Amino acid sequence: MAATVLVATGSPANAAGTGTGYLHTSGNKIVDSTGATVRLTGINWFGMETDNKTFHGLWASNPWRSQLDLMANLGYNTIRVPFSDDALKPGAQATSVNTASNPDLIGLSPLQILDKVVDYAGQKGMRIILDRHRPTSAGQTALWYTSTVPESTWLADWKSLAQHYAGNTTVIGADLHNEPHADGTNPNATGSCWGCGDQARDWRLAAERAGNAILSVQPNWLIFVEGVSCPSGGLSNVWDNDTSNDEDCGWWGGNLTKAGQFPVRLNVANRLVYSPHEYATSVYHQPWFDDPTYPANMPAIWDKYFGYIYKQNIAPIMVGEFGTTLASNTDKIWLQELMKYLGTGVNGMSFTYWSWNPNSGDTGGILKDDWATVDQAKQSIISPYLIPPVGGNPQSPSASPSVSPSVSPSASPSASPSASPSASPSASPSASPSGNGGKSCTATYKVVNQYSGGFQGEVTVKAGGSAISGWTVKWAFPNGQSISQLWNGTLSASGSNVTVTNMSYNGALGAGASTAFGFNASWSGTNGVPSQVTCTAS
Longest C-alpha distance within the chain, in Å? 75
DSSP assignment, residue 496?
T
Give the integer Cα–Cα distance in Å for 516 and 381.
20
337 among known catalytic residues: no
User: Helix, strand or coil for residue 447?
Assistant: strand
Residues 6+ apart with CB under 8 A from 363: 279, 280, 282, 283, 323, 324, 325, 354, 355
Beta-strand runs (E) in 93-238: 127-134, 171-175, 222-225
Report CA 479 to chain centroid distance, whole Å. 36
DSSP assigned state of 332? H
Q: Which candidate in 49, 179, 208, 458 is catalytic? A: 179
Q: How many residues does the chain have?
A: 538
What distance lies between CA 72 and its chain's CA centroid?
10
Bridge-partner residues for 9, per DSSP? none
Our answer to whether residue 247 is catalytic in this structure is no
Alpha helix positions (H), 165-202: none
Instruction: Encode burial over 2-15: b for 16+ CB neighbours within 10 A, e otherwise.
Output: eeeeeebebbbbbb
Q: What count of other Cβ atoms lies within 10 Å of the Cβ of residue 347?
A: 10
The conformation of residue 509, written as its DSSP 8-state character, comes to B
> Which spans in 185-277 are helix H?
203-217, 237-240
User: Is residue 310 helix, strand or coil?
Assistant: helix
Neighbours of 333 (CB within 10 A): 15
- Find the helix or strand (DSSP H, E) in which 277 lies: strand 277-279
DSSP for residue 15: -
Closest alpha carbon to 172 in 338, 316, 323, 284: 316
Between CA 200 and CA 39 the distance in angstroms is 34
Residues 144 and 192 sit within 8 Å (Cβ to Cβ): yes
Residue type at 515? T
CA distance 489 to 475: 14
Q: Please state, in angstroms and rounded to a whole number, the distance separating the CA atoms of residues 375 and 487.
A: 11
Q: Catalytic residue among 208, 278, 321, 458, which?
A: 321
Strands of the 471-476 sheet, one edge to the other: 490-494, 497-501, 471-476, 533-537
Q: What is the rounded radius of gyration, in angstroms, for the C-alpha atoms of the chain?
A: 23
Determine the Cα–Cα distance for residues 46 and 84; give it in Å rounded to an integer.
Answer: 11
Q: Which long-range contacts (CB under 8 A, 24 or more apart) does 242-248 make?
A: 242/185, 242/186, 245/186, 245/187, 246/186, 247/186, 248/304
Active site residues: 179, 321
